[in-house]
Amino acid sequence: MSTNALVDRFGRRIDYLRLSVTDRCDLRCSYCMPQGFKDYEEPEDWLRFDEIVRLIALFARHGLQRVRLTGGEPLLRGRLVDLVRQIKAIPGISDLSLSTNGTHLARHAASLRAAGVDRLNVSLDTLNRERFCSITHRDALDDVLRGLRDARAAGFTRIKINMVWLAGGNNDELDAMIDFCRQQHFVLRLIETMPIGATGRASRYGSLQPHIAELRQRFHLVDGVVAGGGPARYLVDPESDFSIGFITPLSQHFCASCNRVRMTVDGTLQLCLGQEDQVAFRPLLRGGADDAELDAVLRAAIERKPERHEFNEAPGKVVRFMSMTGG
């Protein structure tokens, strides 16, 4: 580990940044963003690309290796491909990934791949058109499926499908999603709903634990590793490329191995998805702070990273919506 590394007071090394490039979205997933949402950041408050690159380069000098572009819906940010190219050129950044809802993926997949996006996560909670409409409030399932097909054709392999586990909402589709992902060689990941914002709290939570045991037995799966910087635990089939990941922040949290922080579109560093601790970088960037000052603020911020979320003990704590933080 470089002596320069960002290590918090609990000994966790922070080498992963999730960067929100917009808080806007063309979907309204019921667990994420309220339907009438309009409280967006003003464009003049969005970090510009040069500001983003300056911050990431500073981070990278302290051992940052992975960056994930997220949002809102990141493909709605203009000239995203230029940003991808610039981040990819920063020394030390070895893994650049993107989380998307897939609605605009068909149009962008090839240029994103060519610009240097290494890995893709696509959110897809259902394969049923009506249900897709009722979860996301838009009739866009076909666009997402086309996006997935084009992304594979553009050279993205091992695409991860993020399925939020909605008790009584989509959990009857587990087998259909497994079949789909096996056929298409996608990695399926099931995510427990988190009580983030009123939307997250209004969604019915279901623990994934019973399904982990059941799937392990039914498909003869074993514990395994799938490339990525995240907290998912994977079960893999030793005889094929089928694997399934579980993100279980409530039933089995993974805070002790947390390696990440998040940056919102307006340049606020969020130190924990489940807490409100944050540091605003935009005023420093626009107020003429030099690298040494930014460096000191970054180090002090990482020092303050909370030990863990309290989704179970204090589910009302996080008022911002997931789309505002960048999931």
Q: What does the binding site for ligand SF4 look like in residue numbers (CB under 6 A)?
A: 25, 27-29, 32-33, 71-73, 101, 123, 322-323
CB 42 within 8 A of CB 34: no
| Nearer Cβ to ligand SAM (174/284) | 174
Residue 113 CA: distances (Å) to CA of 77, 117, 120, 152: 16, 5, 10, 10
CB 162 within 8 A of CB 124: yes
| 236: β partners | 222, 243
CB of 221 to ligand SF4, least distance (A): 27
Residues lying near ligand SAM in the complex (CB under 6 A) are found at 25, 31-32, 70-71, 73, 99-101, 123, 162, 164, 191, 193-194, 196, 200, 322-323, 327
Residue 46 interacting partner from ligand SF4, ligand SAM, none (CB closer than 5 to 8 Å by kind): none
216 Cβ contact partners less than 8 Å away, ≥ 6 residues apart:
222, 235
297 Cβ contact partners less than 8 Å away, ≥ 6 residues apart:
279, 281, 284, 289
| Nearer Cβ to ligand SAM (34/224) | 34
Residue 200 interacting partner from ligand SF4, ligand SAM, none (CB closer than 5 to 8 Å by kind): ligand SAM
Residue 194 interacting partner from ligand SAM, ligand SF4, none (CB closer than 5 to 8 Å by kind): ligand SAM
| Nearer Cβ to ligand SAM (27/298) | 27
- Look at the chain and count its residues: 327
Record the tokens describing residue 279, joined without a space.
Answer: 């540091």
| Nearer Cβ to ligand SF4 (8/23) | 23
- According to DSSP, residue 41 is labeled P
- According to DSSP, residue 40 is labeled P
Residue 28 interacting partner from ligand SAM, ligand SF4, none (CB closer than 5 to 8 Å by kind): ligand SF4
CB of 88 to ligand SAM, least distance (A): 20
